[in-house]
Homo-oligomer: A and B are copies of this chain.
Amino acid sequence: MSPPALHKNRLFVGTFVHSKSLNQLDYLHDAAVAVDTSGKIVAIEPQCGDQGKAVEMMCSKLGWEAAEVQVRTCKEGQFFFPGFIDTHIHAPQYPNAGIFGSSTLLDWLNKYTFPMEASMAALPRARRVYGQVVRRTLSHGTTAAAYYATIDVAATNLLADLCLAAGQRAFVGRVCMDRLAPDYYVDEGGPDAVMARTRETIDHMRRIDPAGDIVAPILTPRFAPACTPETMAALGDLAKKDDLRVQTHISENVGEIALVRELFPDATDYTSVYDGFGLLTPPHRARPRPLIHQRGAKVAHCPCSNSALTSGECRVRWLLDRGIDVGLGTDVSGGYSPSVLEAARLACLVSRHMSMPYNAQGDSLRAPAAIPDAERERAKLSVEEVLHLATRGGATVLGLEHKVGGFQVGMEWDAQLIGLNMVNDDDNDSAETETEKNSGGGGVDALANAVSDDGNVDIFGWETWDERIAKWVYNGDDRNTKMVWVKGRLVHQRLPSSSSSS
Contact = CB atoms under 8 A, between A and B. Distances in A.
Interface string A299-313: 000000001101111
A443 interface: yes
A446 interface: yes
Contact of A446 (B453, B479, B491): B491
A404 to B, nearest CB: 18
Interface in A348-366: 348-350, 352-361, 364-366
Contacts of A127: 428, 431
Contacts of A8: 438, 443
Interface in A477-502: 477-479, 484, 489-502
A441 interface: yes
A56 interface: no
Interface string A148-165: 000000000000011001
Contacts of A473: 98
B502 A428 contact: no
Contact of A315 (B73, B364, B449, B496): B364
B365 A445 contact: no
A434 B489 CA distance: 12
Contacts of A359: 287, 312-315
Interface in A405-445: 423, 425, 427-428, 431-434, 436, 438, 440-445
Given A307-B352, A502-B138, A427 B132 contact: yes
A379 B165 CA distance: 46
A167 B471 CA distance: 28
Interface stretch (A184-192, A240-248, A370-378, A390-398): A370-378
Interface of A: 4, 6-8, 10, 70-73, 94-95, 97-100, 102, 124, 127-132, 134-136, 138-139, 161-162, 165-167, 251-254, 256-257, 287, 307-308, 310-315, 336-339, 346, 348-350, 352-361, 364-371, 375-376, 379-380, 382, 423, 425, 427-428, 431-434, 436, 438, 440-447, 449, 451, 453, 456-458, 460, 462-463, 467, 470-475, 477-479, 484, 489-502
Given A136-B456, A287-B360, A307-B352, 17 more contacts: A70-B440, A97-B471, A97-B475, A98-B470, A102-B382, A127-B428, A128-B425, A257-B360, A308-B352, A315-B359, A349-B349, A365-B376, A367-B370, A446-B491, A456-B478, A495-B500, A497-B498
